[in-house]
């Protein structure tokens, strides 16, 4: 027991002496282990601030502002594109093969309703716009593992009131899953909903699509003799209107198999005036097309509204178009059309681009 007391007194004495040394003025280490930690903590913000000041004053570290030339380049591109389009008059513009192929005319895109198990319920029409009095052949095809009834029903509805105005039964024709029936387009002009219904596996299924009924506008009566007038190839199209009024005619000009131009023209037609002269400008047709047969295809005529709010009505030319032999095209030149307003706009765009 006395030995333990002596050991304890020795340890306490050593601790007091050591603490006194550390706290004395002769201790030049100044708790170096603690000082290093404090110094590093104090100098870190200073160094960070110095780096921040250096980066803020270093020009190479600052993001460069966008160049003003980008706006000038954009304006110059717009000016060039606009100047290119002004080479052609609005009634005779170039037609690329892609544009010609994309034109669908009076085409009805079949509408398919997906069914369970990768099945499909598809309805097809001959065209989208029918003339009043025509018959509407409705074809429906059902593909899949479903059990189909023996017949389908087709109904024409007014889109506003959903009132049924005509109906028919589609019977199986030709092959299993294919059905046909006929509706009458005797209704007033406008768009209508076509509802085709059946039962698949005992459950009702409803297919909905749209079509349009157009009034009888008149008859296309072919082409007159093509001729050269100024820097234009004139293609007279004869159309005998049912009612007088303003009409807009459009067509695609092909020389050989090559699409050349989209043509359009507006004119008032009546019983004394039944010809609209389409014009192909020399910038789209010229000497390289001389001596080759030509065709006016995809003819479409619109009866323009007589007053605001009236409906625009449509009629279409024959599917094969009209073939004709052009006159000598040697006098046509690739000279841009003159349109003072368009030239002024192009000049203004160019002036704006030059300022940047």
The answer to whether the predicted template modeling score (pTM) of the entire model surpasses 0.85 is no
Contact 301, 314 (CB under 8 A): yes
- pLDDT tens digit sequence for 49-80: 444 444 444 545 555 554 456 766 565 666 55
Taking domain 219-324, whether its CATH number is 2.60.40.10 is answered by yes
pLDDT at 64: 52
pLDDT tens sequence across 134-167: 999 999 999 988 778 778 999 999 988 889 999 9
Asked if the model's pLDDT at residue 17 lies above 50, the reply is no
What are 156-214's pLDDT values in tens digits? 999 888 899 999 999 988 888 899 999 988 889 999 999 999 988 888 899 999 999 99
If we measure between CA atoms, which residue out of 223, 205, 300, 211 comes closest to residue 262?
300
pLDDT of residue 149: 76
Confidence bin at 344 (pLDDT 50/70/90): low
Alpha-carbon span 29 to 291, nearest angstrom: 109
Burial annotation 269-297 (CB, 10 A radius, 16+ → b, else e) = beeeebebbbbbbbbbbbeebeeeebbbb
The yes-or-no verdict on residue 15 having pLDDT over 50 is no
What is the architecture of the domain spanning 117-214? Sandwich (2.60)
Q: Which residue matches tokens 């014009």?
A: 279
């Amino acid at each position: 027991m006395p030995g333990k007391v002596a050991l304890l007194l020795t340890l306490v004495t050593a601790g007091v002496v050591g603490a006194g040394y550390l706290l004395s003025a002769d201790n030049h280490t100044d708790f170096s282990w603690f000082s290093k930690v404090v110094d590093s903590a104090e100098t870190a913000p200073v160094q960070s601030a110095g780096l921040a000041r250096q980066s803020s004053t270093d020009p190479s570290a600052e993001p460069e502002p966008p160049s003003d030339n980008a706006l000038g380049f954009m304006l110059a591109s717009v000016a060039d594109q606009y100047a290119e389009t002004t080479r052609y008059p609005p009634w005779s513009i170039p037609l690329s093969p892609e544009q010609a192929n994309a034109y669908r005319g009076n085409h009805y895109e079949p509408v398919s309703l997906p069914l369970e198990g990768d099945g499909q319920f598809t309805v097809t029409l001959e065209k989208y716009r029918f003339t009043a009095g025509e018959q509407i052949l409705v074809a429906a095809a059902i593909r899949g593992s479903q059990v189909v009834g023996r017949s389908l029903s087709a109904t024409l509805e007014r889109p506003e009131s959903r009132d049924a105005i005509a109906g028919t039964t589609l019977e199986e024709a030709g092959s299993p899953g294919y059905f046909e029936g006929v509706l009458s387009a005797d209704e007033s002009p406008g768009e209508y909903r076509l509802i085709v219904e059946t039962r698949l596996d005992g459950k009702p299924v409803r297919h909905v699509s749209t079509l349009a009924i157009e009034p009888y506008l008149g008859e296309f009566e072919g082409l007159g003799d093509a001729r050269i007038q100024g820097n234009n190839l004139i293609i007279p199209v004869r159309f005998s209107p049912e009612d007088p009024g303003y009409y807009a005619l459009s067509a695609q000009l092909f020389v050989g198999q090559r699409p050349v131009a989209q043509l359009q023209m507006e004119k008032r037609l009546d019983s004394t005036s039944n010809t609209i002269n389409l014009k192909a400008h020399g910038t789209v047709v010229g000497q390289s097309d001389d001596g080759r047969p030509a065709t006016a295809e995809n003819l479409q005529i619109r009866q323009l509204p007589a007053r605001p709010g009236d409906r625009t009505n449509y009629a279409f030319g024959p599917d094969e178009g009209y073939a004709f032999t052009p006159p000598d095209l040697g006098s046509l030149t690739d000279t841009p059309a003159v349109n003072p307003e368009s030239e002024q706009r192009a000049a203004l765009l160019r002036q704006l681009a030059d300022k940047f």
